[in-house]
Amino acid sequence: MSLFGFGKKKTPEAPAAKEPEQTGWFGKLKSGLAKSSSKLTQGLGDLFTKRKLDDEALEDLEDLLITTDLGVATAAKVTRHLAKTRFGQDVSADEIKQTLAEEIIRILDPVARPLVIDPSRKPHVVLVVGVNGSGKTTTIGKLAKQNKDAGLSVTLAAGDTFRAAAVEQLKVWGQRTGCPVISRENGADAAGLAYDAITESRNRGDDLLFIDTAGRLQNKADLMAELAKIVRSIKKCDETAPHDVLLVLDATTGQNAHSQVEIFKDMVNVTGLVLTKLDGTARGGVLVALAEKFGLPVHAIGVGEQADDLRPFEAEAFAKSLVGMDS
Ligand SMILES: Nc1nc2c(ncn2[C@@H]2O[C@H](COP(=O)(O)OP(=O)(O)OP(=O)(O)O)[C@@H](O)[C@H]2O)c(=O)[nH]1
């Protein structure tokens, strides 16, 4: 099996008696998003069993879509489109799913952009921000593994100098992936660490450096000052860096993710998003609402804790999984 689990297709002769377990990334994505899609599928099934698309049905549909965190704008667009094309006709839940998936793909296509590492930068510096527990360290570990496996030399910097456990966790990923980890004693200056990390990484001729950060939102002013200081310090070493600033968001927080984007955008120049824990939530629709509202690139999504559970974000696969369609 390849690293990303592609290529495990079921043969045409496979017995159809039992629902075959879907394999590969699409299967994983689909089962990861099962909580989100089953909420929607069940709701659509309840609404559209032999029902004409009248005003009341459209209103019910719009309400249902809003409860799945897709966002008011998306909900309105889908219902408007259906009102224009199918008003007064019988519609099935599957037809609604199809329209919904098409609308979601239209919204997500422009933001689905993989993280591109520029090999001419030595190192390409990726600063990773987000509130505590959103999945920053795990995401760094997963991205480190994938890039290391692709042949790049990768270093990790433990910029959350306040939490010993966070540093330890990054070290575990370092051991697991064979990537050096740069860390300092508890409470050390994170900006100083970032500076040293770039210097060390550059001296080694690394391709890629990930810098983890603390995400204590309890004191926004302190966090803002710390992140600004880290960025200033990085720029002293390399004025073109950081080349990417990834904001990691925990999808289980639902609508709260909107305010996190706003807060972090005020603090640093966020260049892209990673949505984690889509496997643990019925609120996966929030990604669509975020895309519509902010238009920030979505680089990757996480549907589990293993290295392979983080993948480049693809609009079509996500949309179909979210609405519970087959590939
Ligand atoms: N189910 C699931 N769990 C995840 C995913 N991504 C991260 N986690 C888990 O979420 C928890 C928090 O992740 P961390 O990577 O420690 O988050 P962090 O933002 O670095 O948090 P701090 O270290 O507190 O700053 C860990 O138990 C991870 O294993 C995901 O995509 N799915």
Query: What ipTM score was computed for the predicted complex, to two decimals?
Result: 0.93
- The residues near 175 (Cβ < 8 Å, ≥ 6 apart) are none
pLDDT class of 46 with cuts at 50, 70, 90: confident
Instruction: Judge contact between 298 and 115, C-beta under 8 A.
Output: no
User: For residue 187, is pLDDT > 80?
Assistant: yes
pLDDT at 279: 87
User: For residue 11, is pLDDT > 50?
Assistant: no
- Name the DSSP class of 2: -
pLDDT class of 50 with cuts at 50, 70, 90: low
**What are 201-232's pLDDT values in tens digits?**
999 999 999 999 998 777 788 888 899 999 99
Residue 269 structure tokens: 């120049």
pLDDT at 23: 61
**Better-scored residue on pLDDT, 53 or 4:** 53
The strand pair at 90-91 and 208-212 is best described as unpaired
Q: Which backbone phi and psi does 246 adopt, to 5 degrees?
A: -90, 130
pLDDT class of 51 with cuts at 50, 70, 90: confident
Distance 166 CA to ligand 1 centre (A): 10
Distance 137 CA to ligand 1 centre (A): 7
**Hey, which of 305, 308, 311 would you mutate to test ligand 1's pocket, going by the most ligand atoms within 8 Å of its Cβ?**
305
Q: Which backbone phi and psi does 198 adopt, to 5 degrees?
A: -65, -45
Is 254 labeled as ligand-binding? no
Give the pLDDT mean for 243-269. Answer: 93
pLDDT at 7: 28
Enumerate residues lining ligand 1, CB below 6 A: 130, 132-138, 160, 166, 169, 215, 276-277, 279-280, 302-305, 309
pLDDT at 327: 62
Is 186 labeled as ligand-binding? no
- The residues near 76 (Cβ < 8 Å, ≥ 6 apart) are 62
Distance 277 CA to ligand 1 centre (A): 8
Distance 33 CA to ligand 1 centre (A): 17
Element counts in the chain: helices (H) and strands (E): 12, 10
User: For residue 129, is pLDDT > 80?
Assistant: yes
Give the pLDDT mean for 11-23. Answer: 40
**CA–CA dist 246, 294 (Å, integer):** 14
Is 303 labeled as ligand-binding? no
Is 132 labeled as ligand-binding? yes
